[in-house]
């Protein structure tokens, strides 16, 4: 069995509008210790992450404590909303979940995000078969992965987890076949 723990990042500093460099808040820095505590007895073999700072920093506390390197996988990055900051993110998100092909001028559709993240996950399942894996992730990216395996996970489910940071979702696979999904609040 391959077990993948997707870790949605801890609380970010939304005053920083640079999606790639957005850091964790003081609360986020403290809360990443909850992730380390949760993972301490899970026999983790490898730590992967989106290349975005908030995701790396959320799993890096665990990696540093247990002598693991954080390997970034660019395709696990969060969705690109647009080249400008979106003030009404709620309406935008709702529209995207209603129409997986909806995007702003310089953004990505949820279908594109899902395809990219699933391709990355399939590579991980092949590369690290029968390992216990951590992946630093994001709310939307992770939600599209869940939706790929369980289409009942849509906008209302996304809305429920929107404020939960950090958040852990455990996927168990036999080869490439999903055996279970467990959503964990730490």
What is the DSSP code (8-state) at residue 24? B
Give the C-alpha distances (Å, rounded to integers) separating 64 from 47, 52, 61: 10, 17, 5
Which residues contribute to the annotated binding site for substrate?
Answer: 54
Please return the burial class of 58, using the count of CB atoms within 10 Å of its CB with bins 0-12, 13-18 and 19+.
buried
Q: From CA 182, how far away is CA 186, in angstroms rounded?
A: 13
- What pLDDT is attached to residue 88? 85
Q: From CA 162, how far away is CA 164, in angstroms rounded?
A: 6
Q: From CA 93, how far away is CA 103, in angstroms rounded?
A: 10
CATH (one of 3.40.630.30, 3.30.379.10, 2.40.30.30, 3.40.50.1240) for 2-185: 3.40.50.1240
Which pLDDT tens digits describe the chain residue by residue (186 residues)? 999 999 999 999 989 988 899 999 999 999 999 999 999 999 999 999 999 999 999 999 999 999 999 999 999 999 988 777 778 888 999 999 999 999 988 899 999 999 999 999 999 999 999 999 999 999 999 999 999 999 999 999 999 999 999 999 999 999 999 999 999 988
Task: Indicate the pairing of strand 167-174 with strand 177-185.
Answer: antiparallel
Domain boundaries, the chain: 2-185
Which residues contribute to the annotated binding site?
Answer: 54
- What pLDDT is attached to residue 105? 86
């Amino acid at each position: 069995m391959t077990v993948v723990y997707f870790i949605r990042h801890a609380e970010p500093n939304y005053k920083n509008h640079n999606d790639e460099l957005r850091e964790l808040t003081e609360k986020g820095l403290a809360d990443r210790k909850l992730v380390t505590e949760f993972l301490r007895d899970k026999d983790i073999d490898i730590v992967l992450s989106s290349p975005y700072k908030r995701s790396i920093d959320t799993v890096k506390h665990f990696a540093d404590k247990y002598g693991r390197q954080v390997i970034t996988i660019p395709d696990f990055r969060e969705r690109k909303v647009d080249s400008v900051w979106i003030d009404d993110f709620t309406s935008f998100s709702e529209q995207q979940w209603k129409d997986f092909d909806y995007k702003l001028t310089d953004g990505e559709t949820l279908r594109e995000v899902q395809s990219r993240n699933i391709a990355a996950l399939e590579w991980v399942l092949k590369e690290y078969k029968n390992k216990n894996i951590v992946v630093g992730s994001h709310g939307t990216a992770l939600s599209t992965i869940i939706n790929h395996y369980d289409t009942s996970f849509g906008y209302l489910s996304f809305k429920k987890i929107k404020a939960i940071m950090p958040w852990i979702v455990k996927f168990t696979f036999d080869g490439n076949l999903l055996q279970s999904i467990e959503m964990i609040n730490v």
